[in-house]
Amino acid sequence: LRLSLGLAGRMGSEMESSLETSFSSSGAVSGTLGLLPPARSRIFKIIVIGDSNVGKTCLTYRFCAGRFPDRTEATIGVDFRERAVEIDEERIKEIQLWDTAGQERFRKSMVQHYYRNVHAVVFVYDMTNVASFHSLPSWIEECKQHLLANDIPRILVGNKCDLRNAIQVPTDLAQKFADAHSMPLFETSAKNPNDNDHVEAIFMTLAHKLKSHKPLMLSQPPDSGIILKTEPKPAVTCWC
Ligand SMILES: Nc1nc2c(ncn2[C@@H]2O[C@H](COP(=O)(O)OP(=O)(O)OP(=O)(O)O)[C@@H](O)[C@H]2O)c(=O)[nH]1
- The reply to whether ligand 1 has any atom less than 6 angstroms from the CB of 107 is no
The answer to whether the CB of 221 falls within 8 A of the CB of 12 is: no
Determine which helix (DSSP H) or strand (DSSP E) holds 23, and give its type and residue range.
strand 22-23
The number of CA neighbours under 13 Å toward the Cβ of 132 is 25
Whether ipTM tops 0.90, in short, is: yes
- The reply to whether ligand 1 has any atom less than 6 angstroms from the CB of 58 is yes
CATH topology of domain 42-213: Rossmann fold (3.40.50)
Number of the ligand 1 atom closest to the C-alpha atom of 163:
1
Give the integer Cα–Cα distance in Å for 216 and 11.
19
Residue 220 to residues 39, 42, 83, 117, 236, Cα–Cα distance (Å) = 7, 14, 17, 20, 28
Distance 221 CA to ligand 1 centre (A): 36
Give the integer Cα–Cα distance in Å for 48 and 39.
25
DSSP states of 108-125: GGGHHHHTTT--EEEEEE
Distance 86 CA to ligand 1 centre (A): 28
The answer to whether the CB of 125 falls within 8 A of the CB of 158 is: yes
pTM: 0.77
pLDDT tens string 32-51: 333 444 444 578 999 999 99
What number of helices (H) and strands (E) belong to the chain?
6, 11
- The reply to whether ligand 1 has any atom less than 6 angstroms from the CB of 162 is yes
- The reply to whether ligand 1 has any atom less than 6 angstroms from the CB of 160 is yes
pLDDT tens string 55-106: 999 999 999 999 999 988 998 888 889 998 888 777 667 899 999 889 988 8
